[in-house]
Structure 1
Amino acid sequence: MNKPIILVTGATGKIGSAVVLELVNLGWPVRAVVRTLDARSERLRKLGVEVVAADLFDPEQLFRAMQGTSRAYYCPPFNSYMIQSAAAFVVSAQKARLEAIVGLSQWLASPSHPSLLTRQHWLVDHLFSMIPGVAHTIVNPGFFADNYLRLINFAAHFGMFPNLTGNSRNAPPSNEDIARVAVAALIDPAKHNGKTYRPTGPVLLSVSDMTKILSRVLKRKVLPMNMPMPMFLKAARAEGVSAFELSGFRYYVEDHKRGAFEMGAPTTDVYDVTGRQPEDFETIARRYAALPKARISLENKLRALVDFIRIGFTPAYDLDGYERQQRHPLLAHPILAADSEVWINEHGVNNGADRLSFQVINGIDGTRV
């Protein structure tokens, strides 16, 4: 019996490429949707993947890319008009008669969050769930391990690891574990229809805990470096991170500090869905430590030093001004996930004991204790 073709959007991204690789390794035919044909898409083609270039905001291009497929993984684009992409995806899915969609969402998704992208994630989750006759599974991880480890070069060369989140903890999942959960839902959609999964790592860790692990991995002393948000925004802009991505990220850091990523973590979803234990932070960190930028050499150290110096000369984004200029819809009373009754109820803090525990973590007024 021939296996149905599975459509994967965002196929050259960190999660999307892991989804493609997992499906290929399991012998499933894949049609990868990419923004442009380049070296990354060529690597997918060499794996035997069918690659098509399509605009996720164009319903006609999406429909052409979707024709002949039966199931799809949807990775929302980092764009202020993401909701239009999702609407185009819904229209195309109905025309193409998809049988299942697995959507990548966010743990913080809620209707009143100050982040436009996070509010749109909440809307998309509901929108996809209302498509008649289409199985729908939500994968909503919190802070990925990648969010911390993308700056591993500073730890490797200078023994410093930026800390934005104080002593709050998270159980960060790997890109690969997130992808494995998505793939399990794609290959058995009936079993996972209507389910929401939150992949996490196996244990809760603070940044201080992470630096101890990095010290073992890198074989040098690594210390947490408290980084004020304005400095981080300058550093992120110097690294090419967009204003839109940072406009939401600044709020995610505040939710992190308030314990939103600790709530209900760690989960057993990775094991329950895939039959494999989730990767621990040390395993993930060793992969990042093997990246070229983290390898110890004079050239790499000088490059990291130049990058560090460049931060001082990089202006920070005016994120509030950016949102006004882009005419983002701004709420009169935005609420962080950790302070939202809707979010708390939707995410399992709905009985007296759980609610009391969450208030003890955060303080009655939302200030972390």
Structure 2
Amino acid sequence: MADAPIAITGCTGRLGGRIARRLAARGIPLRLIARDAKRAPALPGAEVRVATYQDRDAMARALEGTQTALFVSATESPHRLEEHFAFIETAAAVGIETLVYTSFYGAAPDATFTFARDHWATEQKLREQRFASVMLRDNLYLDFLPMMVGEDDIIRGPAGNGRVAAVAQDDIADVATAVLLNPGAHRGQTYSLTGPQSLSFDDIAAVLSRRLGRSIRYYAESIDEAYRSRAKYRAEPWQVDAWVSTYTAVAEGELSDVTTDVERTSGHAPMGLDTLPLHSASSTSS
């Protein structure tokens, strides 16, 4: 099916929406899959189907007639893996040929960042299928770093002196677009996507101070302090564990290494915090 549309999940989010807009601008037919059709972007050459990962019948209908799909990880929840596995099994049942999955940097069963373990389990499930998969292991979103600054202009977290090679969502979108346009050249690959440099939180505070025109600093919390300072949000324990382990993964050095995968796949160097458009903030990569 030469003119088969590319299926795009997560199209209402910041990353999936970026990828969908890039593909639409190239005249690629798209199948946008969303929970709510009204929230899907209005793009030329795109049709919208309503489905959730766990609604296998609706998802099968949504994927019907497609060969390549972008699989954006589900919203953080205790049932995330169930959703992922249901979607993967549905994709396999309808004959998808390539799934491009937005994973997390350093995904492993013993990763410090709790959600990186879910991503590893999802990757393992993908590798068990007959179809091909491409793993895009995104480092922490560069776009998220400005949102770590508190109202008192302090970044608080138990990251110690660790460093993070955060990557911009625009660069991830460029990589995903390149892969989706030519999936045959990337099948079976795992790309670890980072920015151009590894920054400590003192470095991040210094760059943001310069760019925002005010004094921002980093306070290295202890782990106990981190849990206490986040108690005011009254979040579920699994969510607080994820928030805290974002920083402890940095402290352990698990997000520090810089790769060239963005440039190799997209054709351009990734942007750094000094050039990131600061209006493009978003939630954490997960």
Distance in 2 of aligned mates of 1:193 and 1:5:
18
* Cross-structure match for 1:186: 180
**Are residues 1:142 and 2:136 paired?**
no
* Cross-structure match for 2:259: 267
Q: Secondary structure at the match of 1:281?
A: coil
- Equivalent residues, number: 278
Cα pair distance change 1:32/1:234, threshold 3 Å: farther
Q: Secondary structure at the match of 1:108?
A: coil
With normalisation by structure 2, the TM-score equals: 0.86
Higher mean alpha-carbon deviation, 15-24 vs 245-254, is at 245-254
* Cross-structure match for 2:33: 33
**Are residues 1:282 and 2:278 paired?**
no
Q: Secondary structure at the match of 2:99?
A: strand
Distance in 1 of aligned mates of 2:214 and 2:166:
23
Larger radius of gyration: 1
* Cross-structure match for 2:210: 216
Cα pair distance change 1:146/1:226, threshold 3 Å: same
State how 1:27-106 maps to structure 2 within 5 Å. 27-38=27-38, 40-41=39-40, 44-45=41-42, 49-77=46-74, 78-106=76-104
Q: Secondary structure at the match of 2:194?
A: coil
* Cross-structure match for 2:119: 121
Q: Secondary structure at the match of 2:160?
A: coil
Shift of 1:153: 7.0
Distance in 1 of aligned mates of 2:166 and 2:114:
23
Distance in 1 of aligned mates of 2:250 and 2:35:
32
State how 1:1-369 maps to structure 2 within 5 Å. 3-38=3-38, 40-41=39-40, 44-45=41-42, 49-77=46-74, 78-113=76-111, 117-132=115-130, 134-152=131-149, 154=151, 158-227=152-221, 228-234=225-231, 237=233, 243-262=237-256, 265-284=257-276, 286-288=278-280
Shift of 1:108: 3.4
One-letter code of the match for 2:54? F
Q: Secondary structure at the match of 2:159?
A: coil
Distance in 2 of aligned mates of 1:35 and 1:21:
18
Distance in 1 of aligned mates of 2:26 and 2:229:
40
- Which structure features the higher share of strand residues? 2
Shift of 1:27: 2.2
Cα pair distance change 1:169/1:113, threshold 3 Å: closer
Distance in 2 of aligned mates of 1:195 and 1:251:
27
Shift of 1:81: 2.1
Distance in 2 of aligned mates of 1:178 and 1:127:
23
RMSD: 2.5
Structure 1 unaligned blocks of 5 or more: 292-369
Cα pair distance change 1:244/1:131, threshold 3 Å: same
Structure number with greater CO (CA < 8 Å, separation at least 6) is 2
Cα pair distance change 1:108/1:250, threshold 3 Å: farther
Structure 2 unaligned blocks of 5 or more: none
Among all aligned residue pairs of Structure 1 and Structure 2, give the percentage whose two residues are the same amino acid: 26
Distance in 2 of aligned mates of 1:113 and 1:212:
28
Q: Secondary structure at the match of 2:104?
A: coil
CA contact (8 A) 1:149 1:285 kept: no
CA contact (8 A) 2:157 2:244 kept: no
> What are the Cα deviations for residues 50-73 of structure 1, in whole angstroms up to 9, with x where unaligned?
222211111111101111222111
Q: Secondary structure at the match of 1:283?
A: coil
Distance in 2 of aligned mates of 1:111 and 1:159:
35
CA contact (8 A) 1:82 1:117 kept: no
Shift of 1:46: 5.0
Cα pair distance change 1:216/1:115, threshold 3 Å: closer
Cα pair distance change 1:91/1:217, threshold 3 Å: same
Cα pair distance change 1:65/1:232, threshold 3 Å: farther
Distance in 2 of aligned mates of 1:229 and 1:47:
46
